[in-house]
Amino acid sequence: MAKYIAYISCDATFFNQLEGKYSILKYTLEPCKITERNQHRGTSNFTISYEFEGLPEKGLPDNERVHNSFINKQIAIEEAKIFVAWFSTAVRRPLDLSHVSFGGTQEFGPSGHYLVEEFDREIVKRIFHLKEDIKEGTYRKVTRPDYKSVIKKDVHILRVPEDFSKLSKKLYSLPTEIQEKFFDSCLSYQFALINSLRLPSISLVALVNVVESIMRDRYSSGYCEDTGKLCPHKRDVMKKFRTFFEENLQYPLPEDKRRFLNEVYQNRSNIVHETLMGSGPFRGPIYLGLAKDIEFKDQLHEFETLVNVGMINWLNRL
């Protein structure tokens, strides 16, 4: 095995530029300059870098070197993907690895991995347009549970919550099975944030999936209230959905929250059976917000808040 340092570009929104350099566990986040490409796409960039062990490349025949390089790139990207999904969850902002895709094509990057002993910081600065003289970023104070999605003074910058290092250390020390379950929920939550404006209906489905991922190994009685007997196909899905919020928000749930969550889950069912099949008021992408969208988007925003609070509380309770 060989030791490499990976550098991978990540996207944030144009008005959420990473404030400074942050070091979380073995991962380092650094802001990039705004380029002409950023202005056209409406994004800002930062890099995630970290060391990892991969297959040897140096001194090998071309075919073996290319093969091992591709495998190493996959290893690096998969690790970055998971961490950025968790970071997106913690800061409640749409973040993703840099890419552009349409139809059957995808442009990814920039990204690279470099032998630790041959690493040249100046090359990386040029490739990724890293800002000069990067200062250490400050941390945002946060009170848990956090029901506020936007802090006014932070509206144009991306700051890391002050408890992110502690939560990351806890998360990455969990048993693999529990860790993977939470990472699955982070990926669904990240997907929901990225698509909340253009595909809000799909966002709602993804947010429900966050809860179902975390609760997937919860015991089910198999009891069907409709028939009054055991049913092998019954999985108490709605009951587990409600239990997640009772355990991680408040027990018992206030009646207004209970009604709201019931309505959200019903909307999710309608979307799965109607909107995804091409009917209903929110079918397909939305390119311009209209009056009819406001109520649904308000519901989506409130639900996203409850899901995020539930996720962080679930992690804190472990």
Q: What is the pLDDT of residues 93-134, one digit of tens each?
A: 999 999 988 888 878 788 999 999 999 999 999 999 999 999
> Does position 152 have pLDDT exceeding 90, yes or no?
no
At 267 the three-state DSSP class reads helix
The string of pLDDT tens digits covering residues 13-46 is 998 999 999 999 999 999 999 999 898 889 999 9
> Residue 297 has what pLDDT?
82
> Does position 220 have pLDDT exceeding 70, yes or no?
no
Q: For the whole model, what pTM was predicted?
A: 0.91
Nearest Cα neighbor of 12 from 49, 50, 51, 38 is 38
Nearest Cα neighbor of 52 from 122, 98, 103, 111 is 111
> Does position 154 have pLDDT exceeding 60, yes or no?
no
Q: Please name every residue paired with 6 in a beta bridge, in sequence order, or none if there are none.
A: 50, 113
At 43 the three-state DSSP class reads strand
* C-beta neighbour count of 31 within 10 angstroms: 24
Q: For the range 160-168, what are the long-range contacts, defined as Cβ-Cβ under 8 Å and sequence gap of 24 or more? A: 160/22, 160/24, 160/29, 160/90, 160/91, 161/90, 161/91, 164/24, 164/87, 164/90, 164/91, 164/139, 165/24, 165/25, 167/90, 167/312, 167/315, 167/316, 168/24, 168/25, 168/86, 168/90
> Does position 285 have pLDDT exceeding 90, yes or no?
no
Per DSSP, 139 falls in state E
Q: What percent of the chain has pLDDT over 90?
A: 68
- Cα separation of 197 and 75, whole Å? 31
Residue 218 banded pLDDT, cuts 50, 70, 90: confident
Structure-block tokens of residue 82: 């998971």
> Residue 261 has what pLDDT?
93
- Cα separation of 22 and 36, whole Å? 25
Q: What are the structural domain ranges in the chain?
A: 2-153, 200-317
At 19 the three-state DSSP class reads coil
Do the Cβ atoms of 240 and 220 come closer than 8 Å? yes
291-315 burial, b for 16+ CB within 10 Å, e for fewer?
eebeebbebbeebbbbbbbbbbbbb
Per DSSP, 31 falls in state E
> Residue 223 has what pLDDT?
61
Contacts with 295 (C-beta within 8 Å, 6 or more apart), sequence order? none
Report residue 227 CA to chain centroid gap: 40
Q: At what angle do helices 291-317 and 237-248 cross, to 10 degrees?
A: 70
- Cα separation of 158 and 84, whole Å? 13
Do the Cβ atoms of 207 and 188 come closer than 8 Å? yes
Q: Please name every residue paired with 136 in a beta bridge, in sequence order, or none if there are none.
A: 21
Give the angle subtended at the CA of 305 by the CAs of 93 and 212, to the nearest 5°: 100
- Cα separation of 148 and 192, whole Å? 17
Per DSSP, 17 falls in state E
